[in-house]
Amino acid sequence: MTEPADLALEQVTKVFAGHRAVDGVNFAVRRGEFFSILGPSGCGKTTLMRMIAGFEMPSSGEISIRGQSMLGVPSNRRPVNMVFQNLALFPMMNVGENVAYGLACQGVGRAEREARAVRILERVGLPGYEERQVTQLSGGQRQRVAIARCLVLEPTLLLLDEPLGALDLKLREHMKLELKQLQGAFNTTFIYITHDQSEALVMSDRVAVMNKGCFEQIGSPRELYHHPATNFVAGFVGDANAWDVTPNPSLGPGLGVTLVSGADLRAHGRIGAVGHAYLRPEAIALAARIEELSGLPNRFHGKVSAVLFDGAASNLVIEAEGFAPHIRATLPQAGALAGVEVGARLAFGFSAEAVKVFPA
């Protein structure tokens, strides 16, 4: 017998004053999965999270946790805990009291809840922190206390509402790894919402890309990045050159497009009268001479107009002759072109498979 999903939503819709904030969403999350909901501000992801937590009720549809319907079940009766962006730790309580607070609300005796708080703090890498004040902790330590306060209750689902949004860049990068390791250690199902694609791609087993109340695509980070299913996903997930295009029948059905600049491209994908084409900067090959790119169907000359240094993944901005006004290409970290400078002339090219084309 197949065990039920930890979380399943069927045709869930939420309407506010005639506006469909969430519109017919369907998905299921497996036990122990790190599942992220990625989308821009206002797409409905926070409303969706609040319905899972029980803070909002859906206008229609079904929400179930491990096969049990949650419709009409209040938030405090659901096997769910939530980590908010502001963490909501109690400054008047020490770390141990913060972690044990939920256990106290459940009526767990003092000795047991203190012992469980000690054990969970050890597991999140904060042994001996029970007597510390919250104000004495770093941002990363406060994050771990907030997570420990939820995990000590042994929830089926841990919901995380953009918990890294208030951290500085370096700490945010560190906490991505921390969260992924914690989730693996506890094997608790994480539902994570974010507008930051880097967070979703780095940490998740699967990601749902949300737009205007609907899911555009659900897949692994690799699938979303390399095989976007829609125009929105191609433009939202990862960095890409993007152009308006029209079909070019002279190159064969479904094999070619023409940019508004007049350049012809070999590509894969069918469009109607107009569409959009996307090309990742790292999919572009660079060479000193165009003859070196003879194996690629799309080849052009250009001049470097800017070098965008960013450590391990710097980009060139190339003024392309007979092509778009400019194109961004990832700069190799080794080889003859590694030290290329502004004003240099070079050739660039890419395969037909690298160009993702979608209807407008």
The structural domains of the chain, with segments of one domain joined by +, span 7-234, 242-359
User: In the structure encoding, which two tokens stand for residue 166, read together?
Assistant: 């208030």
pLDDT of residue 1: 54
User: In the structure encoding, which two tokens stand for residue 274, read together?
Assistant: 């107009």
User: In the structure encoding, which two tokens stand for residue 215, read together?
Assistant: 């899911």
Handedness of CA 259, 264, 268, 270 (dihedral sign): positive
User: In the structure encoding, which two tokens stand for residue 165, read together?
Assistant: 């949004």
Residue 173 CA to residue 241 CA, distance in Å, equals: 25
Q: Residue holding tokens 């037909």?
A: 352
Within 10 A of 360 (CB to CB), how many other CB atoms are there? Answer: 12
139-151 vs 95-105: helix crossing angle, rounded to 10: 20
Residue 50 CA to residue 75 CA, distance in Å, equals: 9
Within 10 A of 255 (CB to CB), how many other CB atoms are there? Answer: 18
Asked if 285 contacts 296 with a C-beta cutoff of 8 angstroms, the reply is yes
Domains 7-234 and 242-359 share a fold: no
pLDDT of residue 265: 86
Kind plus residue range of the DSSP H or E element containing 216: strand 214-219
Report the CATH number of the 242-359 domain.
2.40.50.140
Strand partners, 15: 20
Q: Residue holding tokens 């597991």?
A: 123
Assigned superfamily of 7-234: P-loop containing nucleotide triphosphate hydrolases (3.40.50.300)
Selection from 165, 160, 166 nearest residue 180 by Cα: 160
pLDDT tens for the chain, 360 residues: list them. 578 899 999 999 999 999 999 999 999 999 999 999 999 999 999 999 999 999 999 999 999 999 999 999 999 999 999 888 777 888 899 999 999 998 998 998 999 999 999 999 998 889 999 999 998 988 888 888 988 899 899 899 999 988 887 677 787 888 888 888 888 888 899 999 999 998 999 999 999 999 999 999 999 999 999 999 999 999 999 999 999 999 888 877 666 788 877 788 888 777 878 899 999 999 999 999 999 999 899 999 999 999 988 777 789 999 988 777 789 999 887 777 777 889 999 999 999 999 999 988
